Amino acid sequence: MTEPFDFDCMADRSLDHARKWDPKIMEQKYPGTPEGFIPMWIADMDFPAAPAIREALARVAENGAYGYGYAHDGFYDAVMSWQRRRHNNEVKRDWITLAYGTVPTMHYLYQAFCQPNDCVILFTPVYDPFGYAAHNNGFRTISCPLVVRDGVYQIDYDLFEEQMERYRPRVHLFCSPHNPSGRIWSLEEIERVADICRRYGCLFVVDEVHCEHIISGEFHSALQLPERYYDNLIVLTSPNKGFNLGGLKTSYSIIPDANVRSRFRHRLEMNSITSPNTFGCAAIIAAYTECDEWLDAITAYLAESYRYLADFIDREMDGWKLMPMQASYLPWVDISGTGATATELTCHMAREAGVVVGDGTYYVGDGANYVRLNLGTPRALVVEAMERMRDHPYRA
């Protein structure tokens, strides 16, 4: 039986000028990185996109008209159907707002809901744009460090509430599933965070972009919270991580409350975020209406790569400890046992092994003993990368 999708095949990343594969960028970032390096840092995948997405984009390209469009019924219907079918969310059309990528949306969101001298609060470590989007707009960030218990991250609710009382942040941006660890939060954990935010008048914003690749466990969307939390909730998501569409710069928010939604949309209008990317809109519709089978297949492939990685680290990588990953394709590894900091190990592996991993210090805070890997590439490259790093251990 022939497999319908070949994930051992890699796209030509020179054609899309992928940052993570560019030798000049690597030389600037890590001088001395040899030719033939393997990048395991930026969170995109090296596989060709799903056939239905490529066909949809080809139809638009061949048609030859790339003028101004709008978020039409096909987009809204695709989003509502996907959220219902894949995540058990009943989303109303009015709640959905199309935007130009999740990271830009974070910037607009902070602009909409924060005033000069305000601060935002983050569970750290966390995806770096959560922090720099605030700094770029002149807002302070308050770090509430996650605590490692039984090998996984847990939330320090007492500290979180203490910081809420002391600093009165305007926004809490929550990553669910968590990036960089791949932790899936239970609905009870999400509700506890939502309750604290609501009591202290802090807007609860949940980034759910990593929810499509579930390796183990069950994902719970913040939209499954009781409706009493809806007047203080924004969910940000997109198919960009699930289907590798980040370069199309298209995402959307789901905002149940009309007042919150109006304030957010006004900020988008102030930044002229109006008509969508023609190709991005077509890709979202194709992903959400024709690509369930592809997503299930690639998730199974990533899960097998993760099982290989976990076994290899346990057997071969002295001083490395993998944090269990429930979602996405970005393993988070404690390397404190090597005697190296994240920055030291990252620089060493780039120069000596020709493998570029993610430096844990880039994740706002509390990541200095960790590196992040990327399994979104053919397994042969994952195997080669790990063998190279095993053969070039860090020496203090």
Local confidence band at 138 (pLDDT 50, 70, 90 cut-offs): very high
Instruction: Report d(CA 212, CA 241) in Å as an integer.
Output: 8
Residues 98 and 239 in one domain: yes
Domain end: 239, 260, 290, which one? 290
Is residue 361 in a domain? Answer: yes
Q: How far lies 371's CA from each of 60, 242, 286, 296, in Å?
A: 40, 22, 34, 27
Boundary-marking domain end, from 267, 290, 313: 290
Please name which of 308, 256, 276 lies closest in space to residue 83, comparing C-alpha atoms.
256
**CB proximity list for 64: less than 8 A, separation 6 or greater:** none
Is residue 105 a part of any domain in this protein?
Answer: yes
Check: CB of residue 370 under 8 Å from CB of residue 50.
no
CA atoms within 13 A on the CB side of 17: 3
Residues 354 and 384 both lie in one domain: yes
Is the same domain home to 185 and 243?
A: yes
Q: Is residue 396 part of a domain?
A: no
**Residue 229 is encoded by which pair of tokens?**
């939390």
65-113, pLDDT tens digit by residue? 999 999 999 999 999 999 999 999 999 999 999 999 999 999 999 999 9
* Residue 11 lies inside a defined structural domain of this protein: no
**Predicted TM-score (pTM) above 0.85:** yes
Q: What percent of the chain has pLDDT over 70?
A: 99
If one counts the domains in the chain, the total is 2
Q: pLDDT value at position 4?
A: 79
Strand pairing partners for 98? 252
Q: What pLDDT does residue 3 have?
A: 54
Classify 376 as helix, strand or coil. coil
CATH code of 87's domain: 3.40.640.10
**Res 312 pLDDT > 60:** yes
The pLDDT of residue 297 is above 70: yes
CATH number for the domain that contains residue 39: 3.90.1150.10
For residue 1, is pLDDT > 50? no
Query: For 220-274, how does the pLDDT look when each residue is reduced to its tens digit (9 = 90+)?
Result: 999 999 999 999 999 999 999 999 999 999 999 999 999 999 999 999 999 998 8
User: In 10 A of CB 281, how many CB atoms?
Assistant: 23
- Is residue 101 included in any domain, yes or no? yes
- CA pair distance 101, 105, nearest whole angstrom: 6
- My answer on whether 275 and 311 are in the same domain is no
Average pLDDT, the chain: 96
In a domain, 4, yes or no: no
Q: Are residues 300 and 375 in the same domain?
A: yes
Q: Are residues 207 and 230 in the same domain?
A: yes
Say if residue 108 is in the same domain as residue 215.
Answer: yes
Q: Among positive and negative, which fits the CA dihedral 141, 207, 330, 184?
A: positive
Q: Say if residue 84 is in the same domain as residue 168.
A: yes
Nearest to 351, CA basis, from 32, 23, 20: 32
The span from the CA of 130 to the CA of 97, in Å, is 20
Instruction: Taking each helix axis as running N to C, give the angle between helix 102-113 and helix 258-270, from 0 to 180 degrees, rounded to the nearest 10.
Output: 110
Are residues 221 and 78 part of one domain? yes
Tell me how far apart the alpha carbons of residues 257 and 233 are, in angstroms, rounded to a whole number.
8
Looking at the structure, do residues 270 and 341 belong to the same domain, yes or no?
no
Q: Which of 270, 290, 310 is the last residue of a domain?
A: 290
Decide: 193 and 172 in contact? Cβ < 8 Å: yes
d(CA 319, CA 325): 18
- Residue 9: inside a domain: no
80 and 157 housed in the same domain: yes
Q: Does residue 183 belong to any structural domain of this protein?
A: yes
The DSSP bridge partners found for residue 253 are 97, 236
Q: Are residues 280 and 328 in the same domain?
A: no
Range of the domain at 105: 54-290
* Joined tokens for residue 302: 């990533």
